[in-house]
Amino acid sequence: MGHVVDIGKPVNYTGGLEFTSLTYTVTKRIKDEDGKWLSQEVDLLHQITGYAPKGCITAVMGPSGAGKSTLLDGLAGRIASGSLKGKVSMGGVDMSPSLIKGSSAYIMQEDRLFPMLTVYETFMFAADFRLGSLSMSEKQDRVEKLIEQLGLSGYWKQPLYLHKSTRNTYIGDEGTRGVSGGERRRVSIGVDIIHGPSLLFLDEPTSGLDSTSAHSVIEKVHDIARAGSTVILTIHQPSYRIQLLLDHLIILARGQLMYQGAPNDVSLHLVRMGRKVPKNESSIEHLIDVIQEYDQSELGVEAVAAFALTGMKPPPIGAAHEISASTMPAPSPARPSHRAKHQAVEAQGRDKASKRLRLQTSAQDDTGFDHSVRSPWNTSKSWTASQSGVLKSLVFSPARRNHPKSPSIMGSSPGCYAYSVEIVQSTPTPHSSDYTVNENDYLTPNDLTPHNNHSIHDLGPKFANSFFSETWILMRRNFINIRRTPELFLSRLVVLTAMGIMMATMFLHPKDNIQGITSRLSFFIFTCTLFFFSSNDAVPAFIQERFVFIRETSHNKYRASSYTIAGLITYLPFLALQAAVYAVIVWFALSLRGPFIYFLIVLFMSLLSTNSFVIFVSSVVPNYILGYAAVIAFTALFFLFCGYFLNSHDMPQYWKWMNYISTMTYPYEGLLMNQYQTIDSFGKDPFGRDVTGFGILKSLNISQDSSKKWEKIYVMLGWAVFYRVLFYIVLRFFSKNQRK
């Protein structure tokens, strides 16, 4: 009679992620033998079916170009709708990309954080964005707990032996001393798990870290998984210590599935392939080496993929010619395509697998081995009994890592979730780690399953805060960043102050003659150009911040509209201060006339419209080099067509539209109208006649109607709004970190 092995306390397991027949095809241009460019469809993912158990770390591995990051993006909903074929489900419920984003977190390979915020401030802003329903004290408690859990509450020594708490240390960057690389990576993880997501995706979390820091990061991720989250990460060449923390492996090559299962079963998988693991060598690394050997041979990785699918041992490398002869009508002098090789090997595998089933062989190396990549909780494909045990029941329960006698049943991931079964005989499998964690120590994830009180389709509001709350949080963060990095606005203020002093002393009290008129005209156009150039330094500033925006909005932390409005409101007082300082310096020195308040408003609106234009350009260009080039090019065009060199009346008809879209046209004309809408004389012409203000405007084809002055203000305001709207559209619809 058999006996029942019950590992731990059974739980109602309804989590985990399942994916079926994921296929992602792109079109590439390649050269044929004749040197002609041809379009060819390539599968970056080809019929990938598998699962990621809840409470476990699922590691996606494989050689370079295997499709690891592509699979991660596909599971995380970061591939554009319609491009990815297949199905992703959680707890038996189909998941759309929007549902996945609402219940998951995605940690990118690069740490996109604000360098001048402390660790505590970074977490608090993350809590403000994601935990809008909690009180401030509850958010603070959650942040303190998270800091402790991630090992960021300790102290470290600075020069002169001063101790400083990590929680109050700046994140830092290349120019500012901050936390270490491993700590920064843990902060990146923390800001995205503050709300306890059910799914956690990490793209190369150990990239760029030393061995100790990498192990520390994966150890914290391991604890997060044990708290009940489904963790999926890509990793390249993990150390032995890190391999002990992995529960479930998905190994890819050329976008195809090579292996799926527990790390401890890799050796058995290789033995069944006829490839013994050399002594003192990692079985995982050896499997990847074997995959690369097949990839470089005529058989290709399709032979290994067929083995993972059918269980048919792949032929030895070098036997490709025999396979081609037996499966194809006629040999081809050209190397067969990957798809053809895949079909041939798969067909051979099916034939031999059928024969093996008909013969009902009882060989020891074939008993109890399930080659399918189906999910263990998929009730439509139940696990089959083997000669080593008779399956009576299936109950999921967390396997305790500190339980040395807990057996691991076929298909289970050691230390993750095992199965309670009635068996005659079973062979224990060593656990992947002896690390023990108390599940109550970690934040409980949002278990979005049909067995809860709410449906997986009822995720609540898309954003945790209202529009106004988001705007206020973003404004507070902007002001902190500005206060700690004042160089951007101080540099503009210093430049405008210095240039104002130079202009005031150079054109001090112009005389009432033709030269005086020319001097004022030169001052006005130079002022417009100066204000345009003063906004150019916003290009690198926003491009650097754009990466943070993409990371934070990829999983609905806040709206693009609130980000746009918050940025605008934040910069308004600084733009007003710059305009006011310049206006006060030059107003009296150049004996300017007209209402001073109008002069100040024109300068302010000029800064606002040009700043909006530069911000919009920054959102479109991929890097600051192209951004600078674009801004300088448009500055030259706007300067040329603003009406200073050639007024709008004398411009060719086909170039007049440039005069209308030039952001320099309206401040230039507004300043002239404020100065010269008068019958006062500003000197004598060569014939001895008085040159009045109205006469100057008429000669420049500028309106002499005083009511038209405010139209220039309205137009500049319109351009500012127009560019901000374009900026919002780019952020909202074209700044998504997803594949097409």
User: 47-56, 64-73, 445-454: which range is least confident on average?
Assistant: 445-454
Q: How much is the average pLDDT of 378-407?
A: 35
Half-sphere exposure of 616 (CA within 13 A, CB side): 18
Mean pLDDT of 89-97: 85
Determine contact, residues 315/352, Cβ cutoff 8 Å. Answer: no
pLDDT tens-digit series, residues 579-608: 999 999 999 999 898 899 999 999 999 999
Please write the tens of the pLDDT for every residue from 473-512.
Answer: 999 999 999 999 888 788 889 999 999 999 999 988 888 8
DSSP 216: H
How far is residue 34's CA from residue 39's CA, in Å, rounded to a whole number?
A: 14
Question: What are 248's two structure tokens?
Answer: 């479930």
* pLDDT tens-digit series, residues 150-172: 888 765 444 444 445 788 899 98
The chain-wide mean pLDDT, for the chain, equals 78
Using pLDDT thresholds of 50, 70 and 90, give the confidence band for residue 287. very high
The more confident residue out of 208 and 729 is 729
Angstrom distance (rounded) from CA 116 to CA 109:
20
CA–CA gap between residue 444 and residue 197 (Å, rounded): 8
Both tokens assigned to 713: 């203000």
pLDDT, residue 385, reads 31
Q: What is the pLDDT of residues 654-699, one digit of tens each?
A: 898 999 999 999 999 999 999 999 888 888 877 778 889 899 998 8
How confident is the model over 112-131, as a mean pLDDT?
92
| Res. 362: pLDDT tops 80 | no
pLDDT for residue 79: 86
The whole-number pLDDT of residue 396 equals 37
Tens digit of pLDDT for each residue in 415-461? 464 433 333 333 333 333 333 333 344 454 544 443 343 344 445 57
Residue pair 703/673 in contact (Cβ under 8 Å)? The answer is yes
More confident residue, 328 or 479: 479
List strand residue ranges (DSSP E) for 108-206, in order.
155-157, 163-165, 199-203
Asked whether 165 and 197 are in contact (CB, 8 A), the reply is no
| pLDDT (average), residues 643-652 | 86
Are 106 and 232 spatial neighbours (Cβ–Cβ below 8 Å)? no
Rounded to whole angstroms, how far apart are CA atoms 562 and 569? 10
Give the predicted TM-score (pTM) of the model: 0.77
- Residue 1, pLDDT above cutoff 70: no
